[in-house]
Every structure is written in C-alpha cells, then in structure tokens.
Amino acid sequence: MLSLNNLSKSYGQRLLFSQVTFNIGARDRLALLGANGSGKSTLLEIIAGVIVPDSGTITRRKGLTVGYLSQESGAGSHKGLLHEITSAAGPINQLGHRIEVIQEELAITPDTETQGILLAELGELQHRFEAAGGYDVEQEARVILCGLGFRETDFDRPLSDFSGGWRMRAELAKILLQNPDLLLLDEPTNHLDLETQLWFEEYLKDYEGAVLLTSHDRAFLNRVVTKVLAIQFGKVVLYHGNYDKYIETRQQELEVLESTAKRQSVKIQQEERFINRFRSKNTKATQVQSRIKKLEKLERIEVPRLAKKIKFHFPDPPHSDIDVLILVNISKSYGTNTIYRDLNLRLGRGEKVAIVGPNGAGKTTLLKILAGVLPFEKGERRLGHGVVPAYYSQHQLEILEMNKTALAELRSVAPPDTEDARLRAILGGFLFSGDDAFKEVSVLSGGEKARLALAKMLTQPANLLLMDEPTNHLDIPSREVLTDALESYHGTMCFVTHDRTLIRQIATSIIDVSAGKICVYQGDYDSYLYHKALSKAGPETGETVLPRAKNPVVPVPGARQKRVLSGELRSEYYEKSTPLKKSIDKIEKELAGAETEIKELESLFAQPEHYKDSREVVASIDRHRELKVRAEELTEKWGELSSEAERLRLEFETALGRIEGEDG
C-alpha cells in the first residue's frame, strides 16, 4: 500500500535517520518506537507529506488516503462541535448538498422534461451518496464523539470553547470519521482518560485500514499493534509482535550483542598484546603491520547505553500511624460548580492507591486536597502522626532552579549526611550517567527535567507520596525506571496517571472518581476492571457490588433509622423519576419509528425505478424532510428529559450514600 525506500533526514549536523526502508500493508498495525528526539514525529510528517526527506522515495498506491494526527492542536473554529466534525467528510457533504439543491428544484419545476433530467441525476446522486455511507455520517460522528468522551450537550458548543486536550480529541474524531486508508497518529492517547483509551483501542483493533502510530503507553501498544518499527542508531528495524514481544526480542539481541562485544574485546586485547610485544622485532614486522591494519578496519561492537539497568533502592521511609491521611465530610466547589460534597476517605499505611476516572471528574482536585495544597469549604483533613508528605504536581518542572546542576538539585533536598556517591547512584538510576550529573538544569530536555524532579521527590525522607501524572514527558525507558523506583518504595502512595502499565504494576487499590462521588476498590487494576465490567453488566440498581476499602469512622444514623430514611428517599425518587422514564420510553418508541421510516425512504431513494413517477418522488422527499425535522425535535426532547433523569439519579445516589455512610 505504501513503501519507503532509503529515506534520510538531518537537521544541520544532526542526523536523525538514514536509509530507512519498510512497507506498510493494508491492515498493518505498526508502532514507531525510539528515544525522545530520535525522529519519530519527523518520520510521520514525511509520510504524511508535511515535510520532505533529504533523500529517498515514498511510493503510494494510487488513490491512497491518509489521515494524520500531530501532537499540536489549533485554536479551533467557531463552528459547533458536531458540525465541525461532520464537515470533515467533504466529498459526502458535497453530494448531500447537491441532492438538496435538486430536491428543491424538483419541488418548484413544473416542466416534465426538466423534471425527468433532474430525477435521473437525483437517482444517480442518491445511489452514490448511500454507497459512500452518507446517510450514516452524522450518526457515525456522534458515535465517535461519544466514544472519545464528549457528551450530547457538547455537540452544539463552538469548538473554540474547548480546552487544547479536548480540541485534540475533536481533531482525532475528524480523522476517524474520514476513514482514511492509512492512519498516522502521533501520541494519540496523550489527552485520553482511561475509559476513553479502552474505547479507542477497540476502535483501532477493528479499523479496516492501516495504522502507524507513536505512543509511550505500553498497555496501549500491547493491545493494538502487531509490529514494531524501532529507530535505533539512525536506522529503522522491524520487529514482529506487540510491545512486550519487541522488548523480549530486543533483550535477547542485546544479550547476544553484549556477549559478542566481550568476545571481540578479548580478541582485540590479544591482538594489541601481540603488536606491543613484537613491534620492535624485524622478523615479526609483517605480522605486526597486518594485525594493525586488521584492527583499524575492525568495526567495533557498541552495546546501547540503556541495555544495562542500574539497580538501586531507596532507604525505608520513617514510620507513621496506620491511618496515614483521613478526609472527613469534605466539600469543595469552584464558584457554582460543586466538585465534592461530604467526601470521606482514608489512606492506610503502605497502600499504593491509583486515582482513576474521566477527565474533568475531579482527580487532580482530590489529590491536591490530599496533599494539603488546595483549600476546601467544609470538612476536615487529618494527617496521621509521623506522616511526612511529598507532592509531585504536573507543574513540578517549573520550580527546578535553572542555574543548578542535576547533582546540586538532588543535594538540595537530600538529608545533610548523604554522600555524593549515593546521590550519583540515584541519578544513575534515573538515567543520568557519568557527566550527566553535572549538566545544568537549563540545558536538560523536558523528559530529563521530569526525571530529575521525580528523583528529587523520591530522595526526600517522605513516607507519603502524592503524584499527579508523574509519567508526563517521560519516554518508555524513563517510565520503566520510574516503575522500578516506585516498586521498591515502602511508604504510602497515591497517584493520578493515564499510564495503565504503571497502575497495573504499582497499585494495591483504586479510587474511581465520577460525578462528584468516589468509590474505593480493594485490589489491583485488573481486579478493578473485572468488577467494574460486572457492575455494568448487572442490574441498574444505582448501588455498587464492588469490594470497598474501609472508611473513616464518621457519625451515621442507626440501622433502623437508616432503613426508614432510605425507604422515604427511594419513594420520593421513584415518584419523580417514574413519569420521566415513561415519557422517555414514549419518545424512544416514536423516534425509533421515525428513524425506521427514514431508512426505508433512503433505501427507496437508492432504487432507480423509484424515479419513474415524479409525483411519488416529490411526495417521498417531502415526507423524508418532515421525518428528519421530527426526529431532530424528538432527539432534543429526549436529551432534555434524559439529563433531568440523570440529575435526579445522581441526587438520589448522593443522598442515599450519605444515609448509608458510603464514600462521598
């Protein structure tokens, strides 16, 4: 489908890659991997036609369509979100516009001969429109937008009103709607929450075209890709399998390489000893010169720098109470927007807790409250005896001192008696080897600064770590270093991250944040996913069946009083919600009937024999227009009633949770 042949690209004296050659098949799932700055994004831009290579050729199949998602988003237009997304289907929209023009002409043209010409053209256009999926474009756009985390209420909002992360999602939606033969995706999961990532993975696995992407998300790579293109020393090497298989194969290669390098080193030493021993002997002069030339021509085997991992362990943190941190009846709002009301939570000694939930649900707000850096309107935050917290925020890189060296930054937070050798060992564990320890912060890359900030936090004698997106700016090797460090940490930890591999390897419990409520799940991430899937498949009672962590002891009603109060609450809820549900059911039935008739008419439009009777055609066009208008009215009404029903349900669950002593 697409072939790259001997591509090369440099910037000034810096060579990114050379002689890159590979093919992309029609259903390939390819990951492009390499260290930060190795040229992954540049290679994607070359394939997309954004920039040109210094040398080499790209051969594309005739008519090949390509969709490219970069890491940068624009300011966004003032069009409504749904309109902006559907406008991406340009050729289909042009057909639809032409169909509307002809339909209007038919309605006002009395001339029989002209009607015949218009009907013939309309029949052909309708056939092409249906074949291209024109009748399903808006519905497909809605499905993609909802899958990427947008709500129905967002569809009419101007795209410019959304944040950069949400505009990136909208850009991704436009590309997916275009359904190109080849998807080029540069870090597509950067702005996706965990739930959206799961949807996106399934979408890509079923996608009918080819996919070439970059990502630092190891779990995402394992679930989506079947081949890996690794940029190594300016070359691109193809590996078959997912990310884990690539690591396994690469590790085997490195072991062979290390072994070969050792044998070569022994051989070189033997040759050098011979040369030094017999250099001055005339009888050996020919042999000496021969061996000197042989060594000069020898291609030395170099083992990649990251092939060897430096192992180190952090000192045990100071002892603390069993109850490390307790929140009691916390309420937090931003203006009129209430994030939490009567929130209760306990963190126990030694727990490693991951906070998960949709973007905007309040994960960072909760972490800041736990860290004591964000005030709240009501409630109490209790820090256990002997607890020493350390907080890593998404803006931690900004407080590094630019004129200090990496070693000096680490020394500024370490205990006074810490030796430089110990600090350099810690820096080595975070991939600052040799003279890298003496680099000034001002010359470090974003990933290096992130690694230094994490090393600083872990060097402090803290027994409670609170981390907000610690893997941001980190490439895969750096994420693996961080995971190793956190696995060896024996204190209490609570963190927010989109990196499922980090959650899966570290977390011992999960806090799920949604709609102002939290639910604490005991167990690892896979257990959380399993039980969450069970709860979705079960009856919609509004109550969770998942195991929960113990909550702090707070005053709650007695058992008998709770039953009375909850019974009254349920009665009031059902009294208000039942009429709403009946109205929603009625609208859904009418909407289903209208949509069925619309599809029947659209199927009729695609049949050439339908256009033999002009009166019948005009009548069916009018009926189709009426049904579309009615369907839009019903959809809008359904949305209003559904929002009201959801509001009542959330109010009911929140009140019921307070009565029964549940979290938040």
Q: Which tokens is 173 given?
A: 């939606």
- Spatial CA neighbour of 492 closest among 312, 366, 320, 311: 320
| C-alpha 549, offset from chain centre | 28
Tell me, yes or no, if the pTM score tops 0.85: no
- CATH classification of 559-660 is 1.10.1450, yes or no? no
C-alpha 56/C-alpha 252 separation (Å) is 31
Q: pLDDT tens for residues 177-187?
A: 888 889 999 99
The amino acid present at 266, given as its one-letter code, is V
What pLDDT does 415 receive? 83
Could you check whether 323-537 and 559-660 share the same CATH topology? no
Which residues are paired to 20 by β-bridges? 7
C-alpha 211/C-alpha 136 separation (Å) is 23
C-alpha 290/C-alpha 288 separation (Å) is 5
What pLDDT does 464 receive? 94
Radius of gyration of the chain measured on its C-alpha atoms: 31
The amino acid present at 306, given as its one-letter code, is L
Q: Give the CA distances from residue 95 to residues 98, 123, 132, 133, 620, in Å, rounded to whole numbers and listed in that order.
A: 5, 12, 10, 11, 19
Size of the chain, expressed as the number of residues it contains: 664
SS3 helix, strand, coil % of the chain, rounded to 5? 50, 20, 30
- Spatial CA neighbour of 356 closest among 347, 348, 367: 367
What pLDDT does 312 receive? 56
C-alpha 59/C-alpha 138 separation (Å) is 34
Residue given tokens 């927010």 in the structure block: 496
What pLDDT does 353 receive? 95
3-state class of 434 per DSSP?
A: helix
Residue spans of the domains in the chain: they are: 79-179, 323-537, 559-660
Ranges of residues in the chain with a pLDDT under 50 are 306-308, 310, 538-564, 662-664
Contacts of 576 (CB under 8 A, 6+ apart): 648
448's enclosing H/E stretch is helix 446-459
Q: What is the DSSP string of 535-566?
A: HHHS---S---S-BPPPP------HHHHHHHH
Q: pLDDT tens for residues 144-193?
A: 898 898 988 899 899 888 888 888 999 999 999 888 889 999 999 988 88
Q: Which CATH superfamily is domain 323-537 in?
A: P-loop containing nucleotide triphosphate hydrolases (3.40.50.300)
The amino acid present at 142, given as its one-letter code, is R
Sheet containing 14-24: order of strands: 14-24, 2-11, 55-60
